[in-house]
């Protein structure tokens, strides 16, 4: 599906990001994994290299730092001569707390990683994509960006921003052969979630119409579809992968 195409994936070291990397590797994409945690993405790179025919490179970078992001983009263009797909997956939740206990430092850190990084990376690749009149950008948001969460205030606000930023960018490049879409991930069985007790996980399931948590691979499959030529007429959308939660 992605033979000969080059994809940048941020935050690919675990959870949904790791599943996206695996799925794209199996479809023969050339991959560049970007994360501030070099060890995690090196581990994933070693894991996925045997899965497909594409090359897999890693780059350590702070995705909210424009100079570091620009260096990654320059490295990718030097190595492959093209950027076909950008998947902005990197994100943090921040400490759970009601609004009155959220510090400015907590707010700024979540906004920097979850929202500012999307703006910076998209801005860094959009010129190249516009020049070649093609490209796919998929930004990972969350159901919290639509429904809100009183204990994840900065995270909910940032993910809402990702949704509207995606729609706004899509309108701006709709005639340039570039598709920009967003995936709204539901409660997913990731290493972070496995820290919760069985009782807490059961409580989460009760709020999901399908009665179960998402597997990371289910979100990865939607990302791969949106990154493919089969989604050529889809742009400016936020696709819910939420087990029936129908937030608009």
What is the reported pLDDT for 248? Answer: 58
- Residue pLDDT, tens place only, 90-102: 999 898 899 999 9
Beta-carbon contacts of 189 under 8 Å, excluding residues fewer than 6 positions away, are: 213, 214, 215, 216
Catalytic residue among 151, 155, 233, 247: 155
The domain limits of the chain are 6-241
**What's the pTM value of the predicted model, to 2 decimals?**
0.94
* Distance separating alpha carbons of residues 44 and 33, to the nearest angstrom: 9
- Residue pLDDT, tens place only, 37-46: 999 999 999 9
155 flagged as catalytic: yes
Give the residue among 27, 10, 19, 11 at the shortest CA–CA distance from 227. Answer: 27
Q: Which residues of the chain have pLDDT under 70?
A: 192-196, 247-248
Euclidean distance between the first and final Cα of the chain, in Å?
A: 30
- Give the DSSP per-residue string, 10-57: ESTTSHHHHHHHHHHHHTT-EEEEEES-HHHHHHHHHHHGGGSSS-EE
φ, ψ of residue 237 to 5 degrees: the values are: -110, 155
What is the reported pLDDT for 192? Answer: 67
Q: Which CATH number fits domain 6-241: 3.20.20.70, 3.30.420.40, 3.40.50.720, 2.60.40.10?
A: 3.40.50.720
């Amino acid at each position: 599906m992605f033979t000969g195409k080059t994809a940048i994936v941020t935050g690919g070291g675990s959870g949904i990001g790791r599943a996206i990397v695996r799925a794209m590797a199996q479809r023969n994409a050339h991959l560049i994994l970007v994360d501030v945690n070099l060890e995690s993405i090196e581990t994933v790179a070693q894991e996925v290299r045997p899965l497909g025919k594409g090359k897999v490179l890693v780059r350590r970078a702070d995705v909210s730092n424009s100079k570091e992001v620009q260096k990654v983009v320059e490295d990718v263009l030097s190595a492959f001569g093209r950027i076909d797909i950008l998947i902005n997956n990197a994100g943090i939740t921040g400490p759970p707390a009601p609004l009155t206990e959220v510090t400015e430092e907590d707010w700024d850190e979540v906004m920097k990683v979850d929202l500012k990084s999307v703006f910076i990376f998209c801005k860094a690749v959009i010129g190249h994509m516009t020049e070649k009149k093609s490209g796919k950008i998929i930004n990972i948001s969350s159901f919290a960006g639509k429904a809100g969460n009183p204990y994840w205030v900065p995270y909910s606000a940032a993910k809402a921003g990702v949704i509207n930023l995606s729609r706004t960018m899509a309108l701006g490049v709709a005639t340039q052969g570039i598709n920009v879409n967003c995936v709204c991930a539901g409660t997913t069985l990731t290493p972070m979630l496995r820290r919760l007790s069985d009782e807490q996980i059961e409580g989460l399931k009760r709020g999901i119409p399908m009665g179960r948590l998402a597997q990371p691979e289910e979100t990865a499959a939607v990302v791969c579809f949106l990154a493919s030529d089969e989604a050529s007429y889809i742009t400016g959308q936020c696709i819910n992968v939420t087990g029936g939660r129908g937030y608009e």
